[in-house]
Amino acid sequence: MDRIECMRAFVEAVRANGFAAAARRLDVPRSKVSKQIQALEDMLGVQLLMRTTRSLHLTEAGAEYFEAAQDVLATLDDAEERARTGAGRLEGLLRVNAPVSFGTRVLGRLLPQFHALHPQVEVHVTLNDQLIDPVKGGFDVTIRIANLIDSTLAARRLMPAERVFVASPAYLRARGTPQVPDDLAQHAFLNYGLLQGSVTLPLTRHGRTARVQPVGPATADNGDLLAALAEGGMGITLLPRFIVQEALRSGALQVVLEDWKAPPIAVNALYAATRRLPQKTRRFIDFLGERLGDGEPPVP
């Protein structure tokens, strides 16, 4: 069997944590993936994977080979892309993962522009609100809106994501408008993701910091859902401005505690820290950086 194809099957199986998922990504039968990995192990004379009914586990030799194989495939793919680019075209499959709200509100307007520039690039987009390792998830680029911690992944900051406290006019008429952070204790707060009542949220204004523990009737991991709950009068929520800008413009929501700022977060592109980033991935990240580099997403 072709060594490169066997290597690709192995890398995809590790990333997808299964032969069946790898076969779907490669668009080949599951049996072929199994045979290719077995052939690779036979050729190397070592076991690369420990197989169970539920998952795959790398052996020590497999973990070392996986890192090297990723670099080999990235270099090969990059060489092929450079050859195509030199001939005037960029092509191939680009797999992108992004938060739901950012995907529908921002990527939905940017991807047609990218397609117009590179019509031979096929973009597969997966939207969810969980932090996904792009390498293990099999993605070329993962977009995340957060204050990133150190990791083995490479990251490019695309734009800031200012967050604002918002509530509906009806809610504020009924419950009053908070004037200082401590007032939030008397209000219903709609929490994003893991921001629970036991978590302290630091807010700053003119060098002064106030710490609050917001609690409320609902928690969700999607900004559009929280915005809808706030529009319905259920409480106050803290969201990136690009999610609520239309509601603010229409008057369905209004900003409260405008002078108090939550810890800064940003829109980031995460990708594998390989020595050679594929051309299509680099071009896409550069494209996003150019379109979002002014600090604001496209306005509808």
Q: Residue 260: its pLDDT value, please?
A: 93
Task: Select from 192, 194, 235, 193 the least CA-distant residue to 216.
Answer: 235
Residue 261 lies in a domain: no
Q: Which pLDDT tens digit goes with each residue over 29-85?
A: 988 999 999 999 998 999 999 877 677 889 999 888 988 888 888 778 777 767 766
What is the domain range of residue 287? Answer: 91-160+266-292
pLDDT for position 166: 97
Tokens of 188: 């219903």
**Residue at 114 is within a domain:** yes
Q: Which of 31, 53, 84 is the last residue of a domain?
A: 84
Question: 99 and 17 in one domain?
Answer: no
* Residue 171 domain-assigned (yes or no): yes
pLDDT score for 300: 38
Q: What is the pLDDT of residue 299?
A: 38
Residues 60 and 111 in one domain: no
> What pLDDT is recorded for position 231?
97
**Residues 107 and 182 placed together within one structural domain of the fold:** no
180 and 243 belong to one structural domain = yes
Task: Evaluate whether residue 297 is within a structural domain.
Answer: no
Q: Which residues of the chain have pLDDT under 70?
A: 1, 53, 81, 84-88, 135-136, 148-152, 194-199, 274-276, 294-300
- 59 and 182 housed in the same domain: no
Query: Would you say residue 13 lies in a domain?
Result: yes
Q: What is the pLDDT of residue 170?
A: 97
Does 252 share its domain with 181?
yes
Q: What is the CATH number of the domain that holds 172?
A: 3.40.190.290
How far, in Å, CA of 208 to CA of 245, rounded?
27
DSSP the chain: --HHHHHHHHHHHHHHTSHHHHHHHHTS-HHHHHHHHHHHHHHHTS--EEE-SS-EEE-HHHHHHHHHHHHHHHHHHHHHHHHHHHTT---EEEEEEE-HHHIIIIIHHHHHHHHHH-TTEEEEEEE-SS---HHHHT-SEEEEEE-PPP-SSEEEEEEE--EEEEE-HHHHHHH----SGGGGGGS-EEEETT--TTS-EEEEETTEEEEE----SEEES-HHHHHHHHHTTS-EEEEEHHHHHHHHHHTSSEEESTT-BPPP-EEEEEE---SS--HHHHHHHHHHHHHHTTSSPPP-
Same domain, 76 and 209: no
Could you give the number of structural domains in the chain?
A: 3
